Structures are given as C-alpha cells and as structure tokens.
Structure 1
Amino acid sequence: MVEGLWLNHFSELLPVGAAVLDIGCGSGLPIGRELIRRGFDITGVDGTPTMLALFQRNLPGTPALLMDMRQLALNRLFSGLIAWDSLFHLSPDDQRSMFPRFQAHSAPGAALMFTGGDAEGEAIGELEGDALYHGSLDPEEYRSLLDATGFAIVAHVVQDPACGHRTIWLARQRG
C-alpha cells in the first residue's frame, strides 16, 4: 500500500485505540481498513451515498455518516483526523472554511493529515471516464491556516514519489 509510510507517521502521533475521523472516507479502502487493522476507532464521513454504502459494506459495524464535509459539526473531539484524497475536491474557498472545522473536532494534541495540491489553482481531471474537480491553495496559505487554527506542521512533502505523487500535510494540534 503506497499510503503505508504516511499512515505510519500519522499512527505514531495517536494514542493506542484513538478515535479517528475519516473525512471523505469514500469506500473505506484502503485508509479506513488499515486504520482499523491498527486498532483505531474509526468514524467515517462522506457526502456520497454510493461511497458510504461501499464503506459500510467494506467495514461492517464501523460508524459512518452521510454528511457534506463542509457542514461537519459532530460535537465530538477526535485524536486523529484524516482527509486523504478528499479535501482537494473542494473549491479553494470551501477548503479555507474546513480548517476551523478541523480545529473544532480536534482533541488537544490531535493529528491531522490531508492531501492537497502543490500550487493554488483549480483543475478538472478524470476518474473512470467521469470529470473530477481538484482545487488547491498555495502552500503558504495552507501553512497559515494550519497555524491560525492551532496546528503545528509535523511533515509536508510535495508530490511524494513514494506515495503516488501526492502532496501530503501532517500536523498536530497544539496543547
């Protein structure tokens, strides 16, 4: 699994059995399944009924909520939040509004990991013949938003060749 090294880094920041919020969980594969295998208590959130049904089929008994991540308001704190291959499907403005939501769901010391773009802009890609939107902020703006919402950057790699050329951010809530 190409995400394995990054999931190792994320997992090292979490207490044993930690509650993790998988934002834009999709089918639950491979991220949710791997986090469960590592002993974490996962809650998935996805805005697509089809993906949520796949998540529930792939990870039976794992809590999953049908919810647009832009409306995230669970009134619960998590020790880990992950938005792997999901945050960049939001417009830059919507991405900006997610950082206070990350903060509102983070316990002190919580880990946050997400994938994003490497430069500000928008693009339309393709997945299995369907158009797929991608948006990104400038890396300095991601840094600023993380700092403003109480996160310290632990690691950041632009287009990691060992992880499918993803641009990855790993941060930790201060305090």
Structure 2
Amino acid sequence: MDIDDPKDVVRRGYDALSRHYEQSYATETKYRPWLGALQQRIPAAATVLDLGCGSGVPVARTLASAGHRVTGVDISGEQIRRARQLVPEAEFRRADATAVEFPAATFDAVVSLYALIHIPLAEQPPLLARIATWLRPGGWFLGTTGHSAWTGTDEDWLGGGVAMWWSHADAATYRDWLIGAGLTVEGEEFVPEGDGGHALFWARRPSAGE
C-alpha cells in the first residue's frame, strides 16, 4: 500500500472504527493499574494532557472523575465528538499532536497511550521534546511506544474494512529520545500484545536542582 499521507490513514481509520476499537481492546482493565500509579505521583486536581485521547475512555474519564483537570487531543474528529459526550467535564480539541501548542510548564502529567506509534518516525523525537517543555518541573510523562522497530499497514484493521498505519522505533531508541528530550526515565516495562507488544515508559521532568 502506497501511503501519501499516513496521518490521514490514521484519522480515517479511527473515524470509522471508534466504537469497534474500544470493543476490541480491554482498555479499562489494561489501563487501570497505570492510571492508579499515575494518580499516586501527581498532585490533587492536577492538570493532565491526554495526547491521542481517542474517545476519552478510559484515561480522560478516569482522571477527570478523580478531580483532575484534563485536556484531550486527538486527530480523529469522530473520537473527539464522542469524547465530548462521554467526558463532558474534560476539555477536548481535535488536532495533530505534532502541531498542537501549549505554553511551557502547563501540565503536571502528559499521558500518551498507543498514539506515538501512529506518528511518522521523524516527527516523534521533536514531539517528545515539546512534551518535555509542556511538563512542569517534577511532572510525569506516561507513554507507550514500540518495543521493536516496525513501520507498516493493516489493510483490514480489526476486521473493520479500513486501513491503519503504524511506525515505531525500538524501546532502546525511545529511551534515548526521552533522555534527549530532557526527561529522566524512571521506569520501563514490556506490555505484551498478541505475538509482540509495546514498551511502557515512565519519565519525569527533573525539578530545579536535580
């Protein structure tokens, strides 16, 4: 498949299969321990960015219902439309993650689960560098990345009749990119999925004097 605009493939895929995606992955169960651990690390009523928020479930909904101030960003208009319905207490905007802008030191945490892997590889390190600036000193980045390097498409994603596109480096490269962005990698684990899996990273923007 010749891909002229991979981001458009991603956008159209999630527009078409928003509900089907949620039904295919047990995100509520899968994300619960990660979000629980995050809430132990951030202040009460923290400001959190959910980058690649999808329909807002479960990340934005879980954090907003716990009293955190959540902003969600996603490239899919259908996902954002549903997120505004499902999580009315959060703020959502439809935007390309690599183009959205926030002032420096806006967020106590940035969460990006299964989103970086849909962004062209060359655009990922600059995005991680920008994420680092959006974090307050001591703020946390929680994100999933590729575990092994791969770029490719699935012509019949989730059996839904639409294409999807991914591109990711390996976990060691992501660790280097996070460190290069000025973050301290505090944790890394392998998250199995099918015959492969992803890496889950915890990284922190150092506080003054660290």
TM > 0.5 fold call:
yes
Residues paired across the two proteins, number: 173
> What SS does the corresponding residue of 1:93 show, helix, strand or coil?
helix
| Moved >6 Å (runs of 4+) | none
For the residue of structure 2 that corresponds to 1:130, the secondary structure is coil
Structure-1 residue corresponding to 2:205: 173
Picking from 181, 187, 190, the partner of 1:158 is 190
Query: 3-state DSSP class of the match of 1:150?
Result: coil
Shift of 1:14: 0.7
Give the corresponding residue for 2:53: 25
Counterpart of 2:38 in structure 1: which amino acid? Answer: F
- RMSD of aligned C-alpha atoms? 1.7
Change (3 A) 1:79 1:95: same
Amino acid at match of 1:91: P
Correspondence 1:136-155 to 2 at 5 A:
136-155=168-187
Bigger CA radius of gyration: 2
TM score, norm. by length of structure 1: 0.91
Equivalent residue letter for 1:57: Q
How far is 1:160 from its partner? 4.1
Q: Secondary structure at the match of 2:30?
A: coil
**Between the two proteins, what is the percent identity of the paired residues?**
24
Secondary structure, aligned partner of 2:42? coil
Residue type at the aligned position of 1:153 = V
Instruction: Identify the match of residue 64 of structure 1 among 92, 113, 119.
Output: 92
* Contact 1:160–1:168 (8 Å) recurs in 2: no
AA of the residue aligned to 2:93? L
SS in 1 for 2:37: helix
**Of residues 102, 120, 123 in structure 1, which corresponds to 2:149?**
120
Task: Note if 1:110 corresponds to 2:110.
Answer: no
Kindly provide the CA deviation profile for residues 28-51 of structure 1, in whole angstroms up to 9, marking residues without a partner as x: 011111111222110111122111
Contact 1:14 1:80 in 2 (8 A): yes
Q: 1:11-50 residue pairs with structure 2 within 5 A?
A: 11-50=39-78
Instruction: Provide the C-alpha distance between the structure 2 equivalents of 1:40 and 1:154, rounded to a whole number of angstroms.
Output: 23
> Per-residue deviation at 1:135?
1.3
Q: Which amino acid counterpart does residue 107 of structure 1 have in structure 2?
A: R
Q: Which runs of 5+ in 2 are unaligned?
A: 1-28
Structure 1 unaligned runs (5+)? none
The answer on whether the counterparts of 1:20 and 1:40 sit within 8 Å (CA) in structure 2 is: yes
**How far, CA to CA, are the matches of 2:75 and 2:43 in structure 1?**
28
Cα shift at 1:169? 1.1
* Structure with greater proportional helix content: 2
- Secondary structure at the counterpart of residue 96 of structure 1: helix
The one-letter amino acid paired with 1:104 is T
Q: Distance in 1 between matches of 2:40 and 2:83?
A: 25
Equivalent residue in structure 2 for 1:84, among 90, 113, 119: 113
